[in-house]
Amino acid sequence: MTEQVFRKCSLLLSLAAWMTMPNQAQASEPLERRGEESDRVFLPGNFFTPAVASAPSVKRKPSLASVPSLEQLKLIESLTADQSKRLNELFRDYKSDISALQAELKGSPDAAAKASLQARISLRQNTLMEALKVIVKTEQMDELERKKKGMTSDSEVENLP
């Protein structure tokens, strides 16, 4: 622990010292001279260039089924107070059930028991989705879907007089 703190302090001190002497290296060695080598190192084909470029992507954990969260549902603008109250109750029970099942799953000893619990979790998710369909109208779910996809109705730029 002491060693860790010491290391952190040393790092900060050295950086602080560097910052108080900006461009120390540059001052002693003009940029023009430092740049005497060709700029090939910055061009395609340098050490870090992959042999085959892979497509840009984001690595994410797969989400649990397609069950919307309560917070997401609350983003539906046309949700009434009554719908909101019913959703709160629905999710209170759902979260309680799912937490218990997931705790069981975590402590489950064998693959068969795990599979059985996974099935019960899926079933509970399905019952939640069925209950949601009763509370939230189709057009309201569509509104949420549009938001999830980032669809907006960008207004025209208003010019300030």
Partner 1 sequence: MTEKLKGQQIRHLLRRAGFGFTPAEYLSYRDLDYDEAVERLVDFETEDNSALDALIESQNFDFTSGDDIKRWWLFRMLFTRRPLEEKLTLFWHGHFATSLKKVRNPYAMYVQNRLFRKLCIGDFGNLLLAVSKDPAMIVWLDNQQNRKGKPNENFAREIMELFTLGIGHYSEADVREAARAFTGWQVKNGVFSFNKGAHDAGKKLFLAESGNFDGTQVISILARHKQTGRFLAAKLLHFFLGPNFDRALLNKVAGAYEVDRQIRPMLKTIFLSKAFLSRENQFSLVKSPCQYVVGTLKHLQISTIDGDLPRLLSAMGQDLFAPPSVKGWDGGTAWLSSDTMMARFNFANRIIGEKMDALKKQGSLKDLLAEKGIDDQGTCVAYFLQLLVEGDVPPPVVKRLEDYLGKEPFLKGAESKTLLDERLRGLLHLIMTLPSYQLA
Instruction: For residue 35, state whether it binds partner 1 (rule: CB under 8 A).
Output: yes
Specify the residue, 46 or 138, whose C-beta has the smaller distance to partner 1: 46
Pair 61, 121: CB distance under 8 Å: no
- Say how far apart CA 87 and CA 135 lie, in whole Å: 8
- Residue choice 1, 2, 39, 82 for contact with partner 1 (CB under 8 A): 39
Instruction: For residue 129, state whether it binds partner 1 (rule: CB under 8 A).
Output: no
- Residue choice 61, 81, 106, 112 for contact with partner 1 (CB under 8 A): 61
Q: What SS3 string covers 82-139?
A: HHHHHHHHHHHHHHHHHHHHHHHHHCCCCHHHHHHHHHHHHHHHHHHHHHHHHHCCHH
Binding site for partner 1 (CB under 8 A): 8-9, 11-12, 14-16, 18-19, 22-26, 28, 30-32, 34-37, 39, 41-61, 71-72, 75, 77-78, 144, 147-150, 152, 154, 157-161
